[in-house]
C-alpha cells in the first residue's frame, strides 16, 4: 500500500510504502508541544519506506530532545515527520 502526504502549502510531497511498524498516541511533553495539543497521534515507519518526491530542500530539522529529529516545511511551517534514530525509525 502507498500513502501520500504533503505539507500544508504542498511544496514538500512524500510517499510511504508498505505498512507502519507501529501507530498510537503519545502524551509526552515534547509531542504535546509539537502538536500543540494534549495528545499526538503517530505512525512509525522504517526509513526505507519514505520517499520525498518534491521539495526536499524545504525540509528543516529541529532537535528538541536527543531521541527525535522533527522535520517541518520551511515555507509554510507544516509538520512533516519525526525521525527516531535510537529506534531505527
Q: What is the pTM of this model?
A: 0.88
How much of the chain, in percent, has pLDDT values that exceed 70? 100
The predicted-structure confidence for 28-65, as pLDDT tens digits, reads as follows 999 999 999 999 999 999 999 999 999 999 999 999 88
Task: Report the CATH number that the domain containing residue 32 is assigned in CATH.
Answer: 2.170.150.70
Our measurement of the distance from residue 41's CA atom to the centroid of its chain's CA atoms, rounded to an integer in Å, reads: 11
Nearest to 49 by CA among 80, 77, 15: 15
The residue that leads in pLDDT, 59 or 87, is 59
Task: Looking at 2-89, list the stretches that DSSP marks H as alpha helix, in order from N- to C-terminal side.
Answer: 29-35
Q: How far apart are CA 22 and CA 45, in angstroms?
A: 7
Domain total in the chain: 1
Residue numbers of the domain that contains 50: 2-87
Amino acid at each position: 500500500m502507498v500513502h501520500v502526504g504533503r505539507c500544508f502549502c504542498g511544496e514538500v510531497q512524500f510517499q510511504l510504502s508498505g505498512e507502519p511498524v507501529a501507530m498510537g498516541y503519545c502524551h509526552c511533553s515534547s509531542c504535546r508541544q509539537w502538536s500543540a495539543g494534549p495528545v499526538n497521534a503517530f505512525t512509525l515507519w522504517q526509513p526505507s519506506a519514505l520517499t520525498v518526491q518534491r521539495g526536499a530542500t524545504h525540509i528543516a530539522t529541529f532537535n528538541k530532545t536527543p531521541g527525535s529529529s522533527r522535520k517541518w516545511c520551511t515555507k509554510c511551517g507544516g509538520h512533516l515527520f519525526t525521525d527516531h534514530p535510537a529506534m531505527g525509525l
